[in-house]
A = this chain, B = another copy of it.
Amino acid sequence: MDLLNKTLNGIKPLDPGAMEKARERQFKLTKPPGSLGRLEELSITIAGIQRNPLPSLEKKAIFTFAGDHHVVFEENIASAPMEITAQQVLNFVSGGGAVNALANHCGARLVIVDMGVATPYDRPSIVKDKRVGNGAANISRGPAMTREDAIMALEGGISSVLEELENGLDIIGVGEMGIGNTTPASAIYSLYTGLDPAEVTGPGAGIDEETIKRKVEVIRRAIDINNPRRDDAIDVLSKIGGFEIGGMAGAMIGAASKGIPVVVDGFISTAAALLAEQLNSDISGYLILSHHSAERGYGHAAGFMKQKPLLDLGLRLGEGTGAALGISLCDAAVRALKEIRTFDQAGVTDVTEL
């Protein structure tokens, strides 16, 4: 709890001075003012986050938090066997996952964190061990975890980021691996947006409409039975969350406390973003939504956060894949801010001064 509170207290609002200087520079670059649209806004946001008018994105990392969820197996609404979570962690370690390909694409290293994979596997030392338990408990019959475990999950996410500082960290992406984790994510969406679970629950990795209906009922039961308190994010995480969701929220908190932009992946990581914002509202400035997940209900969460994701490519994979594409756009935005010459430098007529 000390680490969590200390980290939350370390989060400052974005630096308006750095943002103003970045904005002024955008207007002096050899292009029509505003013509790079959201890339310009993004560069200004990143300047504010890093408290630097000319921010650096040299060192990039994608954090993939893994955990399991007994609810989907006990209630028979899973799209895939639980063992796949562990198998995919090993696939990521050996470089063969989708997130590896896209992390390579955006020049990020991959940091894999085991928050609570249930299937036993031979965990390579490169996988961070922040395990809180053997999978989150069945949320339709009781809480996912104790309040102490929820704090441990958040602090596992925080320390994962803090440990990586020594390897350099200018921007992070946050994603997850966990069969069944759209179920707690949808429960969190429903709780915060106030929408019925049916409006924010979809097929996840692939279940039929009949199973989706049962999934909705499971989520409804989870909220009813646990009665999580909206104004206490730790309570929400412990009642209807999951270990990797706590890890992701913690990573967002940790990064924000160090002035590091956080690119949020997709459906499940956005549930973590909802929790993180509740813990400290200043966090919202540090969060960049990467893409509009194809999973039903995503738009409601983005709307609740008053954000519009950068991309809309029909992705619904998770792992940090969308975050990788978002990091690439951040890189483009910062390059534009830094590398385009000013009218003066380039000897190009500044129309705004004619």
**Which residue of B101, B341, B351 is within 8 Å of A96 (Cβ)?**
B341
How many chain A residues sit at the interface, stated as a range, is 35 or more
**Which residue of B36, B91, B102, B317 is within 8 Å of A346 (Cβ)?**
B91
A37-B294, A37-B313 are known contacts. Are A102 and B336 too (CB-CB below 8 A)? Answer: yes
A257 contacts partner chain B, Cβ-Cβ < 8 Å: no
| A335, B31: Cβ atoms closer than 8 Å | no
Q: How far is the CA of A104 from the CA of B331 in the complex (A)?
A: 11
Contacts of A195 in B (CB 8 A): none
| A79, B32: Cβ atoms closer than 8 Å | yes
| B328, A31: Cβ atoms closer than 8 Å | no
**Which residue of B33, B36, B102 is within 8 Å of A332 (Cβ)?**
B102
**Which residue of B29, B315, B317, B347 is within 8 Å of A90 (Cβ)?**
B347
A160 contacts partner chain B, Cβ-Cβ < 8 Å: no
Contacts of A346 in B (CB 8 A): 87, 90-91, 94, 96-97
A348 contacts partner chain B, Cβ-Cβ < 8 Å: yes
Nearest CB in chain B to that of A341: its residue: B96
A87-B348, A335-B102 are known contacts. Are A36 and B321 too (CB-CB below 8 A)? Answer: yes
A163 contacts partner chain B, Cβ-Cβ < 8 Å: no
| B83, A30: Cβ atoms closer than 8 Å | no
**Which residue of B80, B312, B317 is within 8 Å of A312 (Cβ)?**
B312
Nearest CB in chain B to that of A101: its residue: B339
A88-B30, A205-B32, A332-B325 are known contacts. Are A349 and B96 too (CB-CB below 8 A)? Answer: no
In the complex, which of the residues A83, A90, A313, A314 has the most CB atoms of chain B within 10 Å of its own CB atom? A313
**Which residue of B32, B316, B332 is within 8 Å of A35 (Cβ)?**
B316
Q: Could you mark each residue 145-185 of chain A with 1 if its beta carbon is under 8 Å from any beta carbon of chain B, else 0? A: 00000000000000000000000000000000000000000
Q: How far is the CA of A349 from the CA of B86 in the complex (A)?
A: 11
Q: Could you mark each residue 49-91 of chain A with 1 if its beta carbon is under 8 Å from any beta carbon of chain B, else 0? A: 0000000000000000000000000000001110110011011
Nearest CB in chain B to that of A41: its residue: B314
A38 contacts partner chain B, Cβ-Cβ < 8 Å: yes
| B351, A315: Cβ atoms closer than 8 Å | no
Q: How far is the CA of A317 from the CA of B31 in the complex (A)?
A: 7
| B345, A96: Cβ atoms closer than 8 Å | yes
In the complex, how many angstroms separate the beta carbon of A33 from the nearest chain B beta carbon? Answer: 7
**Which residue of B38, B102, B310, B349 is within 8 Å of A83 (Cβ)?**
B349
Contacts of A127 in B (CB 8 A): none
A354 contacts partner chain B, Cβ-Cβ < 8 Å: yes
A105 contacts partner chain B, Cβ-Cβ < 8 Å: yes
A206 contacts partner chain B, Cβ-Cβ < 8 Å: yes
Contacts of A311 in B (CB 8 A): 311
Q: How far is the CA of A340 from the CA of B101 in the complex (A)?
A: 6
Contacts of A328 in B (CB 8 A): 105, 328, 332
Beyond A37-B313, A97-B341, A325-B332, 5 additional contacts (C-beta under 8 Å) are A31-B97, A35-B205, A37-B294, A79-B351, A311-B311
The 6 A-B residue pairs whose C-beta atoms are closest, nearest first, are A37-B314, A96-B341, A101-B339, A35-B317, A32-B205, A38-B313
